[in-house]
Every structure is written in C-alpha cells, then in structure tokens.
Amino acid sequence: MTAGFIGCVIPVLPGPPLAFLSLILLSIPAGFSLFRPAVLIIIGAAAAASLIMDNILPVVSSGKAGAGKAGITGSIIGMIAGMFFPPLGVIIGAFTGAFIFELLFNRENEHPLKAAIGVLTGTLLGILLKLAVCGVITVFFIRGIKLIFQQA
C-alpha cells in the first residue's frame, strides 16, 4: 500500500496498480471472500484508468496552454530529476523542465511560462487522481483487514 502512494508522485512506479496489488494479496489467503469480484474489477479498472489519465492529462493541458513536444519532454526529464529531491522535486522538476525545454527547443512559442504552467497543471491533476484512487483502495484495504480480524 505504501509503495502505491509513493508511486503516485514518483513517475517510474505505477502507484494505483501497486496499491491494487495489495488488495489482491490481502484477498488471496481469504480465498477472495473479503471483496466481491465486481468490487475488485471496478477498483482494478479505476487503478488502470488513473494510470492512463496520468499520461493523458499533462499532454492535454499542456497542448491547451500552447506547449510543444519539447515542453512535455522537458517535464518528464524534470520529473525524473526531481525524484532525487523529495517531496516537491517531482513537481518543481516538471515545471522547470517544461519551461527550460520550451525556451531552448520551441523558440516559436511566445509564452513558455504559460506552457510550463499547463504542463504543471496536468501533472498535478494526474497526481491528485492517482492519490484519490489510492485513497479509495486504502479504505478497502483497511476494511479487509478489519474483516480478517473479525473472522479470527
């Protein structure tokens, strides 16, 4: 579960799927009787969807703000570099990377700051979405643990 939350802000870890995996691992010893199959399917789909949206939101918001491929590439590089400066390094890195790459490689863009803010907005929305999904998974995880202790 903890790895799931860490993965919400570190771009190389798939946060919600890791959190979902904790539900599956919790369910195995109980013979999958803790949660209805439909609940697991819906939560698994939400985890996958949040990962997909995390990749789409920065592209959409940066496109609306006028960023080019350079800004998006810079934000990814900045996020990776920012991983070494937690907790805000990923966010600051995404913004800084987008801004610098827009300045250097997209010279026809007259508003690189606006483009960087667009990339930052999409990145933050993706992180918030993943955190929300992990929060819901955590509620089910805690509920599952309570059920295990009640049955014991």
User: What global pTM score does this model have?
Assistant: 0.81
Mean pLDDT of 30-46: 92
Mean pLDDT of 41-69: 88
Mean pLDDT of 124-146: 94
CB atoms within 10 A of CB 105: 14
Tokens 């918001």, residue located: 61
What pLDDT does 134 receive? 96
What pLDDT does 72 receive? 81
Q: Which of 92, 91, 86 is nearest to 128 (CA)?
A: 91
CB atoms within 10 A of CB 127: 19
What pLDDT does 152 receive? 67
Q: Does the pLDDT of residue 125 top 70, yes or no?
A: yes
